[in-house]
Structure 1
């Protein structure tokens, strides 16, 4: 199946376009989301020094019916937002695109990574064109292995973590240093590593559990 990377310009009618444009140094990291034609709910991490002020601005939008703060940190907070205009999310879902979280919005743009059948990718393009949503295909690779264990981004972060000694004992680098080296937020780096580790471990254990009874497992 094709693998594609898209940069989508969030429509101005969607509140996050204006808010992220007004705070270009702030990253809006969507951790989970669901939507139908009328409403949407998203759990978002707002990462930046103006997180509290950003929350107040979001509450002022008529389309935002509720904002609940779930947790706060030094320069970030996690919120759950309910909205009546889930245009972008519903359009992705209507195209049959499985959305792998987290996805990030920054300065009015959403970065999306997809591994989907060609017809689904075409359907997404047709949906975005029909709705007048601008997008750029940053990369497309055709012969991607069907149902890969890791996404390209997850593989890249894992390989960099291994090369830099993150998994060594003792560790030769910290999560903070690794995130700085890769130019991503610490929380993003942690989330990508966690999801990649989850997939690798579950795949490994699935193989181990499939070993026929009576077979001796190798020792450490």
Structure 2
């Protein structure tokens, strides 16, 4: 088995849920389940955030021309059902179901067409970025799927491949702690070399993004994820050192 991780990034005005998340940076959405057949899609999402953000998210989910994950920018005529399962203590749990029309498509539907059945989907959304993780067979034609998906999302949505990893049954995650994906490592190296972390800065984020030929939001995301990973590794290693150097309870006995 392998995991394939990629991300979509929506331009303003192209996805109502992404617009709400962009307006409320502390709000996130993760999938609790996601299932697809050739004719339909249903899923349960778990959102956390302020009461105002959750109210706006609920309204976005219930928008008449919005169908969860449909890649068609306008109303595709699908028959959609939205039901709020929980709304309490900064949490919103939403169930969505829709039946396809001839013009409807989605990430899971393209995956079903190119990668076959038996797929596991996991998603996470923050800001305009929508990260997908698909667990699939080792011989699945990932690049054919990714090319087809790129054609479907069009120009209004950026798409980025993050990693393809063989799953190791002896570990819950395929990457060792502190190991950065190539895109994050390259972004961090460029930021250091060009003086982004100096005081005062020698280059601003927008200028660095232009030099690297990536959207500003994409570069910001890569740097934030790299910084978070490095910070977590530093704290873990620091705690280990403190444990090793702490005086023994039996010292002096």
Aligned to 2:145: 124
Structure 2 CA distance for partners of 1:127 and 1:151, relative to 1, 3 Å: farther
Aligned to 2:115: 96
d(CA) in 2 for partners of 1:13, 1:89: 19
Structure 2 CA distance for partners of 1:90 and 1:118, relative to 1, 3 Å: same
SS at match of 2:169: coil
| TM-score, normalised via structure 2 length | 0.49
CA RMSD of aligned residues (A): 3.7
Aligned to 1:79: 94
Aligned to 2:5: 5
Paired residues of 1:2 and 1:115 also in contact (CA < 8 A): yes
Q: Deviations over 1:133-167 (max 9, x none)?
A: 632222344xx35x7355417986xxxxxxxxxxx
Aligned to 1:186: none
Task: Pick one of 134, 137, 148 that aligns with 2:169.
Answer: 148
Bigger radius of gyration? 2
| TM-score, normalised via structure 1 length | 0.55
Structure 2 CA distance for partners of 1:100 and 1:83, relative to 1, 3 Å: same
Q: Mind listing any 5+ residue stretches in structure 1 that lack a counterpart?
A: 157-182, 184-220
Aligned to 2:132: 112
Q: How far 1:15 moved relative to its partner?
A: 4.6
SS at match of 2:64: coil
Paired residues of 2:40 and 2:98 also in contact (CA < 8 A): yes
Aligned to 2:207: none
Q: How far 1:62 moved relative to its partner?
A: 2.4
Paired residues of 1:41 and 1:83 also in contact (CA < 8 A): yes
Q: Deviations over 1:60-92 (max 9, x none)?
A: 232343321112331112111234655223223
Q: How far 1:56 moved relative to its partner?
A: 2.2
d(CA) in 2 for partners of 1:102, 1:21: 21
